Chains A and B, each alone.
Chain A
Amino acid sequence: MGNFLSAILSSYEGKEDELIPILQQVQEKLGYLPEEAMLEIAKFTGVSESKIYGVASFYAQFRFTPVGKNKVTVCRGTACYVRGAPRILEEVERRLGIRDGETTKDLEYTIDTVACIGCCALSPCMMINKEVHIKLTPPKIDKIFSK
């Protein structure tokens, strides 16, 4: 951690207004913002760690947990929503034992939700990595993850 972070920080002066670019670079590198990195950035920029957490939690682009190998993206767009997306999400959460936005302990799966993945006619749907699963029902979810 130390090495890659000091490499990132070396191109900055340690000013308050550099905070967001630094966070973006760390997120780009690691896929998330680890606590130790934010503490180090706090020391470097002189911005308190609570404020950094405030900034990072405000923007949707930042996350605090690592991303799993497989990204499960559940659609919560209007069409999916009316056709039971909440129950689909609930089932995915139950199946993986994590909540929306979290990653499983073995770093295999991360659940994410989006507003639309563009196949409303086949709703409710979700994506696992680049593969789209359509016309979902809870038993179907079970089958997908049993594979």
Chain B
Amino acid sequence: MIMIKITIDNIQVKAKAGTTILETALENDIYIPHLCYYPDLKPVGACRLCMVEIPGRGLTISCKTLVEKGMVVRTESPQTSKVRRTAVELLIVNHHADCLSSTKDTQCKLKEIATYVGIEEERLKRLRATTKTTPIDRSNPFFDREPDRCVLCGICVRTCEEIQGASAIDFAFRSYDTTISTFGNKPILESRCESCGECVVRCPVGALRPKDYQKPSREVKSVCTYCGVGCGIYLGVRDNSIVSVRGNTDSPANEGRLCVKGRFGYNFVNHPDRLTTPLIKKNGKFVEATWTEALELIAKKFSLYKKEQFAAIASARCTNEENYLVQKFTRAVMGTNNVDHCARLCHAPTVAGLAQSLGSGAMTNTISEIGLTACILAIGTNTTSAHPVIGLQVRKAAKHSAKLIVANPKEIDLCRFADVFIRHRPGTDIALLMGMMRVILDEGLYDLPFIEKRTEGFEAFKKTLSNFDMDFVEKTTGVDRKTIIKAARIYATSKPSTILYAMGICQHSHGTDNVLAISNLSLITGNIGKPSSGVNPLRGQNNVQGACDMGSLPNVYPGYQKVDDPEVKKKFESAWGVPLDPSRGLTHFEISDAAYDKKIKALYLVGENPILSEANASHVEDAIKRLEFFVVQDIFLTETAELADVVLPAASFAEKDGTFTNSERRVQRIHKAIEPVGNAKPDWWITCQIGKKLGGKGFDFSDPGEIMDEIASLVPNYKGISYDRLEKGGLQWPCLDYKHKGTQILHTERFATKSGKAKFISLEYRPSQEIPDSEYPLVLTTESSLYHYTSGAMTRRVDGLNILRKQELVEINPEDANRLGISDGQTVRITSRRGEVQAKAKVTDVPLPGVISMSIHFAETKTNLVTNAALDPISKTPETKVCAVKVCPVKSFNHREHRGKDIV
């Protein structure tokens, strides 16, 4: 970076070449008034307050003028004062001045500038004061917009466009009537606004302000508890309540950005529904109990069902330390490997598939690299809904001229920015991806030096591509060959290209094959092991990566060390001081089956709600009811917890210490902000107590930092991780020793396989297990809403999120809706071979004709009663993304008709 010297107000300062006068001044603690400048937005020079004088050149706006060698700047002169005073006076007369009650009071920049410039009351009186009384827009549940307090700096408009990519608002009308408006000047709730709140944070005055704002008395650094992006946050605390959330600008995962759930969805923490005391079911009813009673009952009962009669489900919502303990308890105390967690319902195909081809099942690259890539293939991911802050990176890349290829049966929001939109039939990803590779091979666009040096199995793989000629691919996917060829060429010729994927790839009966197709595509073009390239599975839950890393899986110990490897078994036996079971345990769905068959009799379920989240939910419910003893540990009495014999109240993420590992393998610290509500306890403490009561050794931890030390001693990838180091910021695994800085990009030199080379895997196309037929003619696919999260246990308890999305909506194409006589907003019945649900129809072009789409967030509409539990043979993940259904309108009771009949 070139540094130059300039002089500001007779002080010589160093300035980075290419920066502006204003930036240089602010960096050197020299104040220049400004309203429309914001550090990460393009300067517009609208407010005219940052005017400075350059002798010989006159007045210039400092936010848009770049520094030059030897430049002399005066921030204050009679002329600058005059210009600034006039500008401020004009703003104030058009502005409601009763700002005392404004939540921005302490930070109102207009007030700060008025004080700095010095406003003469007499002059103000002579100017005509505003007569504007525009109504306040209170439509959004999280913030209000008061146009009469607006200074038209445009920071909100630029933030919405440049940062969020939503462009919900812009300047509208003219001169005195100029205002910030949505499309059609409608309430913000009816606009494209995603309620991320970034504009509210940045508004320099009181025009945009959070509802019911309470200033926190202190702030605690933590990590968001929703999706796998792992956004750094500050929890605002007042007394023992969370009253605000603020993005941490130093956090590399989000750089301060947050989505609507992360910023506003915190009210579940102090919600009155929280479990505050242990509950024991007596005669079919829950009775409050003490911890001693509950723990003793659990110890007594669990001791009856050791080994193969016991299973535990750990939680991707809990910390690494807590997952480590649940699997340690299951293995070392209960003597079985029957431990799994909800990754089985989502990214198990990633873990199984990428372990086979690349040696390691995680994002190969880093979130911040996505914005810098030359090409993104986003397949099976509605990124802006399910991983909103990663969605910002995708929008950013697309705006910076990166090519964007979206492959999805639905016309998702990202299609607005896409160069190619491939709208393939659900479940035909392999045909599509193999077809793209066939094009790449036929046209010689593959990276032969990379293939020869870094991979194996290419020759055999090449042969299987012969099965995927364009006639077959076109027929199977329903996509025009020109589109596929165009996408293949763009992906192969852009350098670097990256692939993002999520549930649309994994939740299939051929999910692992889908993942392997993706890894093949990145290998054939050499798009891996380099910055901004790679294979990037976007993980769904805050700590699903960590729960996998910690070995909450039936086939591996922590660090993916195989349970059936005798060397590994010996290592853990000596560490834990007990003999261990050498055979693999049961997976999530196999546990349900075994419970149904009464082979598993006791289940310890931590932080999960399978009755809503698992495919073919009625089977899961039946299985749970057949258990002899069922313990649920959660923060709410979920639909699943209602069936438990003992319910243990757990602390939420704001009430405990620990670590989460985000989607990009970054291990990040969460800090306790408030005391656990009522008598709730941190999950790690609870599992330790149960372990100790059952005579387990190695459960005497007094704080989670000690658990992390034990993890570091057993998991090579976490060896260099300690709480002391994490205080300074997260670390990306592999982190091999206490001096290792962590690993930003995987596979740069060698792959994590035994040979060090990546493997091409030959694949065949297998259709989804349930294909539409004359009785069930439509395909149901599932999705995530931006406003809710998994089974809704948390988000459904945040009032504002329920306003933004209050109920299940079945998206159906107008073509199908017309044929079936369904109108927008009408209640419809969705029936599959397994069950039926009702919901309101939303007639929209978003899904393909023949495809309907539903979420899984609403307990009133249990979508998973309908979905298919056909399992992927390798990862045992159910096929939630494709099942055959029929849809019919539910006839409402027609009073007039009915009355007519009565008369007859």
Contacts and interface: CB of A to CB of B under 8 A. Distances in A.
A35 B184 contact: yes
Interface string A27-51: 0000000010011000100101111
A53 B192 contact: no
A53 B183 contact: yes
Interface string A43-67: 1001011111110011000001000
A58 B406 CA distance: 35
Contacts of A38: 183
B170 A54 contact: yes
A64 B171 contact: no
A20 B173 CA distance: 15
B161 interface: yes
B185 interface: yes
B134 to A, nearest CB: 15
Nearest to B177: A57
Contacts, number: 47
Nearest to B167: A48
Nearest to A38: B183
Nearest to A64: B184
B173 A50 contact: no
A51 B170 contact: yes
A38 B184 CA distance: 10
A54 B181 contact: yes
Nearest to B191: A50
A57 B161 contact: no
A117 to B, nearest CB: 23
Interface residues of A, number: 15
Nearest to B165: A48
B163 to A, nearest CB: 14
Interface string B150-183: 0000000000010000011111111000000111
A54 B167 contact: no
Contact of A49 (B173, B174, B183): B183
Contacts of B169: 50
Interface in B601-659: none
Contacts of B161: 48
B131 to A, nearest CB: 15
A13 to B, nearest CB: 15
Contacts of B192: 48-50
Contacts of B181: 50, 53-54, 57
A54 B167 CA distance: 12
A38 B172 CA distance: 15
B170 A58 contact: no
Nearest to B168: A50
A58 B184 contact: no
Contacts of B174: 57-58
A49 B183 CA distance: 6
Contacts of B173: 57-58
A46 B165 CA distance: 12
Nearest to A39: B183
Nearest to B417: A46
Nearest to B161: A48
B184 A53 contact: yes
Nearest to A42: B183
A58 B191 CA distance: 20
Contacts of A54: 170-172, 181
B328 to A, nearest CB: 52
A57 B172 contact: yes
B185 A51 contact: no
A49 B172 CA distance: 12
A48 B170 CA distance: 9
B111 to A, nearest CB: 28
Given A49-B183, A53-B184, A58 B167 contact: no
A35 B181 CA distance: 15
Contacts of B184: 35, 53, 64
A35 B191 CA distance: 13
Given A50-B181, A53-B183, 4 more contacts: A46-B416, A50-B168, A50-B192, A51-B170
Nearest 4 A-B pairs (CB), nearest first?
A48-B167, A54-B170, A50-B170, A49-B183
Interface of A: 35, 38-39, 43, 46, 48-54, 57-58, 64
8 contacts: A43-B416, A46-B416, A50-B168, A50-B172, A50-B191, A53-B181, A53-B185, A54-B170
